[in-house]
Structure 1
Amino acid sequence: MSTAQITDYFNFLTPGDIRLKDSRIGIETILYEYIDRGRTPEEIAQLYTSLTLEQVYATILYYLQNKEVVSAYMKNWIEHGHTMREEQRLNPPPVSKKLQQLRAERKAKKIANVSATLQPRHHPS
């Protein structure tokens, strides 16, 4: 398999976004499982049932043939993930704020209900 053929397995959307053809799965997903989690290609194919074993092997082969470029790609992907998580933590989207508010209100209501049931009841004699 030549490098020209191996690239046929991928859609190079941007330098930071390489996906498997006919899939929304990026190469980082497969390579993370392979490099960082030590999974075999067969295990990865079982995890991501929309992929073929051939696609998994093609991704690994692409990585092995282009280690420097793909390692930089993975490093950027990891850094981007950290940046996005930190940004979300500091500036949660409005829907997250609303959910936090609803949870707090529900918890306050539950505490109020528990307190009310624990109050001693006075019965008129």
Structure 2
Amino acid sequence: MQLEDYFEFLDADDIRIKGHRIGIDNVINYYLHGYSPEAILLELPTLNLEKIHAAITYYLHNRPEMDAYMLRLAKWQEQRYQEYLAAEPTPVMKRLKQLKTQREKEMLKPL
């Protein structure tokens, strides 16, 4: 089995672990934060150690390309987050904020 056989290369910015919706970036992020493969398995229990080791090995063998991949994903995620913050709240979000404010006011009222 080739190392690449563990992954689905959906496009240049979407590499998934075969048979899962989990991206290789999820495993790599944990690895880069110091998690052992066993600790990663606790965080991503639908994987197995073989797939986790494959993701780490793929990262280590392709580090420059994978670092660029991770940077592109981080920039895309930050852009999406900023768009979310700048967007007009939906009617549901407005109502939830009103309810939260109302509840907070009621909790501050003296008994």
- Whether TM exceeds 0.5 here: the answer is yes
The structure 1 residue matched to 2:19, chosen from 9, 22, 41, is 22
1:54 aligns with 2:62: no
Deviation at 1:41, TM superposition (A): 1.1
Alignment deviations for residues 22-63 of structure 1 (CA, whole Å, 9 cap, x no partner): 11111111100101x111111111221100000000001111
- The aligned counterpart of 2:72 is 76
Q: Residues 13, 89 of structure 1: CA spacing in aligned structure 2 closer, same or farther, 3 A cutoff?
A: same
Aligned twin of 2:9: 12
> What percentage of aligned pairs have identical amino acids?
36
Q: Distance in 1 between matches of 2:68 and 2:39?
A: 25
**Which is further off, 99-108 or 41-50?**
99-108
Once superposed, which parts of structure 1, at least 4 consecutive aligned residues long, lie more than 6 Å away?
Answer: none
Match of 1:104 in 2: 101
Distance verdict in 2 for CA 1:43–1:96, change over 3 Å: same
Q: TM-score, normalised by structure 2?
A: 0.86
CA distance in 1, matches of 2:102, 2:59: 50
Q: Which runs of 5+ in 1 are unaligned?
A: 118-125
Counterpart AA for 2:70:
M
* Deviation of the 1:73 alpha carbon: 0.6
* One-letter amino acid of the structure 1 residue matched with residue 37 of structure 2: P
Residue identity opposite 2:80 in structure 1: M
Greater shift after overlay, 41-50 or 96-105? Answer: 96-105
Task: Give the secondary-structure state (helix, strand or coil) at the position aligned to 1:49.
Answer: coil
Tell me how far apart the structure 2 counterparts of residues 70 and 93 of structure 1 sit (CA, whole Å).
35
Alignment size in residue pairs: 110
SS at match of 2:109: helix
RMSD: 1.9
Q: What's the counterpart of residue 41 of structure 1?
A: 37
In structure 2, C-alpha distance between the alignment counterparts of 1:93 and 1:58, rounded to whole Å: 42
Larger radius of gyration: 1
